[in-house]
């Protein structure tokens, strides 16, 4: 399986988790979530957005627990293909 296919599958999984956990807040078709922005699940337990680890400049798209210690990740979409700058954008299309 190539890297792009893995990224698409991971993004689908991330969005599926967010949809299950989100009663009110959802990502709608053509909505953009830019690096620096996040979306929080309806119950306020989870947050989706871009992040980096430690002093690394690599950026990742992930879901983390919002009310638990910083850095407690649930899922990372692009673990093997990190972005190298903060220009990431998530857009859901159909």
Structural domain boundaries, residue 86: 3-91
Q: What is the pLDDT of residue 24?
A: 45
Q: What is the pLDDT of residue 62?
A: 93
Q: State how many domains the chain has.
A: 1
Whole-number Cα distances in Å, 12 to 16, 19, 63, 71: 6, 10, 12, 22
Beta strands in the chain (DSSP E): 32-34, 38-40, 46-51, 60-65, 73-76, 89-91
Q: What is the pLDDT of residue 93?
A: 83
Q: What is the pLDDT of residue 16?
A: 63
Distance separating alpha carbons of residues 85 and 48, to the nearest angstrom = 18
Q: What is the pLDDT of residue 14?
A: 65
CB-facing half-sphere around the CA of 91: CA atoms within 13 A:
6
The residues of the chain scoring below 70 in pLDDT are: 1-5, 7-25, 70-71
Q: What is the pLDDT of residue 1?
A: 61
Q: What is the pLDDT of residue 71?
A: 67
């Amino acid at each position: 399986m190539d890297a792009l296919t893995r990224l698409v599958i991971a993004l689908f999984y991330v969005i599926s988790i967010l949809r299950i956990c989100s009663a009110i807040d959802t990502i709608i078709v053509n909505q953009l979530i830019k690096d620096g922005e996040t979306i929080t699940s309806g119950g306020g337990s989870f947050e989706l957005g871009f992040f980096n680890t430690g002093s690394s400049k690599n950026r990742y798209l992930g879901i983390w627990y919002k009310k638990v210690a910083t850095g407690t990740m649930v899922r990372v979409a692009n673990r093997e293909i990190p972005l190298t700058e903060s220009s990431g954008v998530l857009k859901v299309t159909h």
